[in-house]
Structure 1
Amino acid sequence: MSQTIALAPAPVDDPAPDLLHRRDGALRMEGVPLTRIAEAVGTPFYAYSAQALRAGYTALSGAVAPHGVDVCFAVKANSNIHVLSEFARLGCGMDIVSGGEMARALAAGVPAERIIFSGVGKTEAEIRAALLAGLHQINVESPAELEVVAAVARDLGQSAPVALRVNPDVDALTHAKITTARKDSKFGIAIGEIPALYAAAAMRPELNMVGLAVHIGSQILDLAPFRRAWAAMAGLVRDLRAAGQQVGRLDLGGGLGVGGDGHSGPDLAEYARIIADTVGGMGLALNVEPGRWLCARAGVMVARVIYTKPGDGADFAIVDAAMNDLMRPALYDARHAVEPLAPPRQVGATTPCRLVGPICESSDDFGTYQGLGPLQAGDLLAFRDAGAYGAAMSSTYNSRDLIPEVLVDGAQFRVIRRRVGIDEALQLEQPGPWQRAG
């Protein structure tokens, strides 16, 4: 059951749409001091601003809707059903990559006809569930997958709505581990193979070829790769139509990046203008699938300093959060801005501080920071831009807890995922009966 804790109303001049701000020296999310949440749920924890989630969707949808573009949230970025519900109430669609994500989107109140199923390794069972649920479309990523979709649809007596995911061989100019459209990528079908495959598939009654899809990567800050990829898609659509094929939909993918560490993110007006320049006016039903852009800035992870110790060139602060709670620094060399919940003890130049977690891996290292002031055991720190690929990627490595997630809305907050500790984890390991091999 959700836990709701109401606080006194925030003053009318409180900048509630802003994710974080200080009042009386205390760091707040909307009208709630983050220290109040720490007292209620312990540390570490994730907190999300409901108003920031709504404002992000409104801004992006407002930029692209005039060009006939729908927005689908990439569920993999943050799959908490209460976060999904915030978007669903605004009319946002969902992009999923597993049967579990489909179940979450449906549980959050998203209509099946607003859900797109992407992903390179859908199982037969997942495809069957998607067709039975009546999802909007399945983005197929290989000829082999297309055969399975066709077989399942034939067995169900349906015509499966299919878009072929295209690999246009465009470098997204981002981290190698989140680039998905170079020719050596596991994702999609080479653009040169699409015309023959599309034409053959369109002749099969069990397949309803509705269009194409593309996704070139994540955390894209330079918009030029989008222009190249979408221009290539426009050319492909024209070629298919010239050959007599019906192409009604184009899924433009996600990947719009979030600025950080003082750098601004991409301009939404320019992003929308590129869509209009490349694929606008073609009579296509268009959609984009952002994940990080919609939820990263809406969330923080709050951790507590456990110990400090001197180091070579930078002092260490060991915090109670670790790479199992926030994997991105270890996995992608990502950096999250960090802010103390209380004002720094010293303003100006101080000894650099290296924030590390307690896990027995050298990669459990959040990075070296300036300006945090001399930290002490017990200090609380907020890791910014942690609303995407934070809790969704968390694990229980080193038999650590799954940490709470909290939703803040105005002057109140509630727990939307409780802490899952070792006692519950051990219950999952109760043995079943022995079974004989033969």
Structure 2
Amino acid sequence: MNESTTNSMNDLGPRPFAYNGPRLEVSGVDLVSLAEQYGTPLYVYSADNVRSRVELLQRAFAGVDHTLCYAVKANSSLALLKLLGEMGCGFDIVSGGELERVHRADAEAQSRVVFSGVGKLAWEIDAALEAGILMFNVESEAEVELLSARAQALGRTARMALRVNPDVFAETHPYISTGMSEHKFGIAIARARAIYAHAAKLPGLEPAGVSVHIGSQIRDVAPFAESVKRVRQLIEELRADGLNIRYLDAGGGFGIEYGRKAFDPAERVTAYAAAIKEVIAGLGVHLLLEPGRFIIAQAGALLTRVIAVKQNGAKRFVITDAAMNDLIRPALYQAHHEIVPLELRGRAAQVADIVGPVCESGDFFARDRETEALEAGDLVALLDAGAYGMSLSSNYNTRGRAAEVLVEGGKARLIRRRETVEEMLAGEVL
């Protein structure tokens, strides 16, 4: 590995993780010391980076009546939700459990919650009505009827939007594309007008908005603009029908770069905001946005220690103490995460599969990845792991979930203890 290649590999772009000499830091805190203090696997997040991303979005949409409703499913840590609530964010939830998280992190923020999801249960709807959330994003005709029944039973009025399916294609992984007619999400936009007319006659319902969400990890602004354009037309038709539609939920899905490709977050946000603002100009709506990944993904990393290095014929394997139960994105989505040592040692490059100890061939973080040669005991970071890392983690192989640490202003604090075997087994009955 020559000097220019080394320098290129050590340039981590717009992430908050950067080398200070040979050691990796975040917000001025040495990651080796965190791994030694709290053990591995360990999720580490930069609160400073989260704040920066939220502020980027808030500046880009300045002058537009809007609310950022952070997608809780991306990372539901109570400490992160509290941080976001304090910045004035709302929240996009998809379950009653996520509503309870918002309640515990910032009870006042419940009034800025939108409730999405294709299969809401009666108890979840009841809890959201009692909490006084901002709006329900309804995804089926059956849900319209259920929402009316629950609102009537509780003597409440439910503000609602239909999540319409605009049939707009977005270039992303098929598992996280949601805007086409073959997907389970939303209601065909051609059916929406009739469903709104029916909903307006039902007790306990107030049709107040229209919602759209076409997928996740989308880096081109054109699909967002096209989907919002189709929603604008629907809003104008619904207003002509006499409905007071005043919210437009443009969804989330704004992506990042997981690899080394050049990525300027401010430039991306500016283009994204300009495209949406142009389409909604003069419409007079309160814009709701549901960012998740853009805010938290690059703010987080998963730290892990190399257990062993083995050679099987021509194939080299680096085995870490983190596994697919800690970070499933590579196995589930074939996702790329940059993998870097916490301490540069000037070794030659190696090509290896970087894998975990779980009893699955799908338990890998990278195939044939070139890194500085790694040895047993070395610490490495899997970058861009803040979104859909901890929130998708599991106890597969009866492995406890990782600890989590939040770094802010040069100081680190534990925000989740490492899960013990006793805690994993506590709910089971012999």
- Scaled to the shorter chain, the TM-score interval is over 0.9
C-alpha deviation, 1:175, in angstroms: 0.4
SS at match of 1:351: strand
Question: How far apart, in 2, do the equivalents of 1:162 and 1:59 lie?
Answer: 29
Question: How far apart, in 2, do the equivalents of 1:187 and 1:278 lie?
Answer: 23
> Residues 173-198 of structure 1, C-alpha deviation per residue, up to 9 Å, x if partnerless?
10000001110111111101100010
Q: TM-score, normalised by structure 1?
A: 0.91
Spell out the pairing of 1:253-292 with structure 2 (5 A cutoff).
Answer: 253-265=251-263, 267-292=268-293
> Residues 301-340 of structure 1, C-alpha deviation per residue, up to 9 Å, x if partnerless?
0011111112455521011100000011111111101110
> Residues 191-232 of structure 1, C-alpha deviation per residue, up to 9 Å, x if partnerless?
011000101111223111101101000000122211211111
Alignment counterpart, residue 74 of structure 1, candidates 68, 71, 90: 71
Does 169-178 or 364-373 show the bigger shift? 364-373
Question: How far apart, in 2, do the equivalents of 1:292 and 1:422 lie?
Answer: 30
Question: How far apart, in 2, do the equivalents of 1:405 and 1:153 lie?
Answer: 38
Alignment counterpart, residue 203 of structure 1, candidates 182, 194, 201: 201
Count of residue correspondences: 413
> Residues 98-117 of structure 1, C-alpha deviation per residue, up to 9 Å, x if partnerless?
01100101111152211111
> Residues 390-409 of structure 1, C-alpha deviation per residue, up to 9 Å, x if partnerless?
01110010011111011111
| Conservation of the 8 A alpha-carbon contact between 1:180 and 1:217 | yes
Question: How far apart, in 2, do the equivalents of 1:342 and 1:369 lie?
Answer: 21
Query: Does 1:251 find its partner at 2:249?
Result: yes
Spell out the pairing of 1:23-422 with structure 2 (5 A cutoff).
Answer: 23-109=20-106, 110-265=108-263, 267-311=268-312, 314-346=315-347, 350-368=349-367, 370-422=369-421
What residue identity is the alignment partner of 1:94?
Answer: F
In structure 1, runs of 5+ residues without a counterpart are 1-16, 432-438
Question: How far apart, in 2, do the equivalents of 1:216 and 1:140 lie?
Answer: 15
What residue identity is the alignment partner of 1:284?
Answer: V
What residue identity is the alignment partner of 2:411?
Answer: Q
| Conservation of the 8 A alpha-carbon contact between 1:64 and 1:70 | no
The answer for the alignment partner of 1:11 in structure 2 is none
Question: How far apart, in 1, do the equivalents of 2:292 and 2:313 lie?
Answer: 38
Question: How far apart, in 2, do the equivalents of 1:233 and 1:117 lie?
Answer: 19
> Residues 18-72 of structure 1, C-alpha deviation per residue, up to 9 Å, x if partnerless?
6112223111111211111111111111000010111111111111232333211
Question: How far apart, in 2, do the equivalents of 1:405 and 1:164 lie?
Answer: 36
In structure 2, runs of 5+ residues without a counterpart are 1-13
| Conservation of the 8 A alpha-carbon contact between 2:15 and 2:298 | no
Q: TM-score, normalised by structure 2?
A: 0.93
> Residues 85-133 of structure 1, C-alpha deviation per residue, up to 9 Å, x if partnerless?
1111110111000011001011111522111111111100000110011
Question: How far apart, in 1, do the equivalents of 2:397 and 2:276 lie?
Answer: 45
Question: How far apart, in 2, do the equivalents of 1:244 and 1:111 lie?
Answer: 31
What residue identity is the alignment partner of 2:169?
Answer: D
> Residues 271-298 of structure 1, C-alpha deviation per residue, up to 9 Å, x if partnerless?
0111112122201111110110000000
Taking only aligned residues, the RMSD between alpha carbons, in angstroms, comes to: 1.5
SS at match of 2:62: helix
| Conservation of the 8 A alpha-carbon contact between 1:314 and 1:351 | no
Q: After TM superposition, which residue ranges in structure 1, 4 or more long, deviate above 4 angstroms?
A: 311-314
Does 314-323 or 376-385 show the bigger shift? 314-323
| Conservation of the 8 A alpha-carbon contact between 1:344 and 1:372 | no
